[in-house]
Structure 1
């Protein structure tokens, strides 16, 4: 009797310390832990093993949010198209839409080419090829965030949002639609995918300062910044040479590259622009949109504070391939030294890049200029002035339109009483980006 009862004890005592027994017990513990602690990973249309693998491969930020019980949700938008600055506005509008829906914007594709009507000719380019992804999230932390598709845990948990269009689709209807997608049950989807038109043409619901916040987080990648450095350096070198010629030899040694100031003029005289602006003038019953080459040169030459700086390089930011008139460097006032890409000797820097990158380089060159002159109906010019206005505000400047402004800007399509271009600054208290998106002759400075 005692012998029979002691058999199990002897069995476990003999084999308890064996490796096989330990492995069996470990597997049992794992199975019990999975059954009680990881039930949520089998409820999204896949096996528990698959979802556990996806969870492990997510970014640390996403893992932290899910551990804390917060489901990471995303907004997906169509490929962003048109010119550089229209794309920047479209991107900002997509960011602000994601912010309103309490979502992370999945990093969208930009477009390297300008063929926005022939969709099949569009060349997508990654956001990261133009702007710094990590720096964007760092600068805009707590405001808006970008996410990667690798962070999505369930690629089928999608709800499509069809953007309305046409005259009947009002701002109020668009806002109501967004509010609806921010409520239960639509807000439970991991991805809301917006389908329809380009984000640049979405309804606008946000003030200028919100757009400006997004723009401040957009930093060009180092490669593009270095290309812009080369162009700016070349401009300053030429300006410095001319200033040395105009000064006495005693002052030559005191001049440095930083003392080679330049003016940037965004000359909108390309054939496509002239067709567009003339139609726009007819529709709006105004004569303050189109400007000829002669009018631009005359008004720039009449800038009072410019006359004290001559000789000075005037960099002409113009789309060379679309020009019908090759004489843009002829006819300028004495002391104004006009240079476009070819004459400057930097055409090769631009030609090796697609259109979008070329525009980004030109934008940076204009932004850094001591003085900028553009067209108030141009998105390119408008966003440069917005950036320059932000610079002045950051420097504590309150008078944005005075004679001694550090980063002065002008609109050559609107004349002032002296025959020069009108001073221009962005009204940061505007409640929408309507003026900057579609052009205006209301340029803040009175």
Structure 2
């Protein structure tokens, strides 16, 4: 009896020690991430301590950063804007609302048509979503317009990433706090050196919400695509016996969006890029795109395939012919929505197409296209918010594919943005190394 009580006492003490040890391990020791997929710690959207702010202090609203006009295509402008935001964050300053470019001129700078940021994206919504991370300000917020210091961005091969980072750190020191505005002069922010991980850019991109007018135009295009899909489903099912048409037609009609890069200037660019990088997975012919989209594993047909193509290809009727049976290809002209696009300048047209592609049930693009890469990044973020850390080999809600890379069953390769990348290089300039 005595021995039994002693044994129970020893057992209880042992269990108590184990519990205490486990508690101390959890509290005091760092956790270790597993292998495979995406490390959840890497999904934390808090900046690395070396380039971040003290989160308790937030962004200063009385000190500002001014940047040059943001130019080029929509995708380049979004990246340039995010880079400007992250630069302002590093300097602990509010970014003065920059001017975007409505037109697309790569060399003729004097022909660029400026457009205010808040004509494209919601200003207040941006600040609300990015509160505490980055901050936008109006020029009307300035108190002393004479308190400006001009920071000349370096250029050329000698202006290394390290020198650029040292310069930014210098201008973040207390000695420059006397200036209300630091104005960066020189090249377009897209061309600035990159010092931030993908997750920080993704955080900024999440805060970019289109103004209602543009968002409604994109919704009209999406509704038209789904309407065509509903008609196609109705015709298909009416020919089948034993199908409950009413319940089927009430369900959302999915669609596939394909960002087809086939225009002449792209083909010239990608051929040169293949030669320079000594790779063969950049350019894709129309035939290759059609075949790979048709071979997507698990894709249910019939289904509408929206082709996001350059205006120069709209007159080429061959882009909607030759597709696999069960796939109904449409583009803005065939949908009779080209009038929506024609009302707006290039930047807004791209923003509408971007929204249509990002909302697609399945997206297929080119991993060397910045436009496609940003959409894949946004869709990756959506999955992460839903708790999905890897789409590889899994049936997920927002799948993306790269048609320029061969995947399963001769289809396009599954594509998920690498959120642990230390820079945005792969997205800015393209890569054939994708997470899946």
- For the pair 1:385 / 2:376, whether they are aligned, the reply is yes
Alignment of 1:13-412 (within 5 A): 72-247=62-237, 248=240, 250-256=243-249, 258-306=251-299, 309-321=300-312, 325-412=316-403
Q: How far has the Cα of 1:259 moved from its partner? A: 2.5
Q: How far has the Cα of 1:251 moved from its partner? A: 1.6
- Whole-Å separation in 2 of the counterparts to 1:258 and 1:93: 41
Q: Is the 8 A contact 2:304 2:330 kept in 1?
A: yes
Select the structure of larger CA radius of gyration: 1
- Whole-Å separation in 1 of the counterparts to 2:170 and 2:315: 50
**Per the alignment, in what secondary structure is the counterpart of residue 291 of structure 1?**
coil
**Per the alignment, in what secondary structure is the counterpart of residue 184 of structure 2?**
strand
**Per the alignment, in what secondary structure is the counterpart of residue 328 of structure 1?**
helix
Q: How far has the Cα of 1:116 moved from its partner? A: 2.4
> For structure 2, which runs of at least 5 residues remain unmatched after alignment?
1-59
- Whole-Å separation in 1 of the counterparts to 2:61 and 2:430: 40
**Per the alignment, in what secondary structure is the counterpart of residue 177 of structure 2?**
helix
| Larger RCO, structure (CA 8 Å, separation 6 or more) | 2
- Whole-Å separation in 2 of the counterparts to 1:71 and 1:141: 12
Moved more, 347-356 or 243-252: 243-252
Change over 3 Å in CA distance of 1:171–1:414 after alignment to 2: same
- Whole-Å separation in 2 of the counterparts to 1:392 and 1:228: 22
Per the alignment, residue 10 of structure 1 pairs with none
Per the alignment, residue 438 of structure 1 pairs with 429
Q: Is the 8 A contact 1:75 1:194 kept in 2?
A: yes
Moved more, 97-106 or 289-298: 289-298
Q: Is the 8 A contact 1:313 1:338 kept in 2?
A: yes
Change over 3 Å in CA distance of 1:125–1:397 after alignment to 2: same
**Per the alignment, in what secondary structure is the counterpart of residue 298 of structure 2?**
helix
Q: How far has the Cα of 1:258 moved from its partner? A: 4.5
Moved more, 176-185 or 399-408: 399-408
Q: How far has the Cα of 1:321 moved from its partner? A: 2.8
**Per the alignment, in what secondary structure is the counterpart of residue 413 of structure 1?**
strand
CA RMSD of aligned residues (A): 1.4
Report the TM-score, using the length of structure 2 for normalisation.
0.84
- Whole-Å separation in 2 of the counterparts to 1:144 and 1:298: 43
Length, aligned pairs only: 374
Q: Is the 8 A contact 1:271 1:322 kept in 2?
A: no
> For each residue in 1:237-258, what CA deviation from the matched residue of structure 2 results, as whole angstroms up to 9, or x when unmatched?
1101111122247421113465
**Per the alignment, in what secondary structure is the counterpart of residue 409 of structure 2?**
coil
Change over 3 Å in CA distance of 1:233–1:324 after alignment to 2: closer
> For each residue in 1:89-141, what CA deviation from the matched residue of structure 2 results, as whole angstroms up to 9, or x when unmatched?
00000000000000000000000011121011100001011000000001111
> For structure 1, which runs of at least 5 residues remain unmatched after alignment?
1-69
Q: How far has the Cα of 1:323 moved from its partner? A: 6.3
**Per the alignment, in what secondary structure is the counterpart of residue 304 of structure 2?**
strand
Report the TM-score, using the length of structure 1 for normalisation.
0.82
- Whole-Å separation in 1 of the counterparts to 2:373 and 2:61: 39
- Whole-Å separation in 2 of the counterparts to 1:253 and 1:416: 37
> For each residue in 1:358-406, what CA deviation from the matched residue of structure 2 results, as whole angstroms up to 9, or x when unmatched?
0000001001101000000111100101110111111112332224111
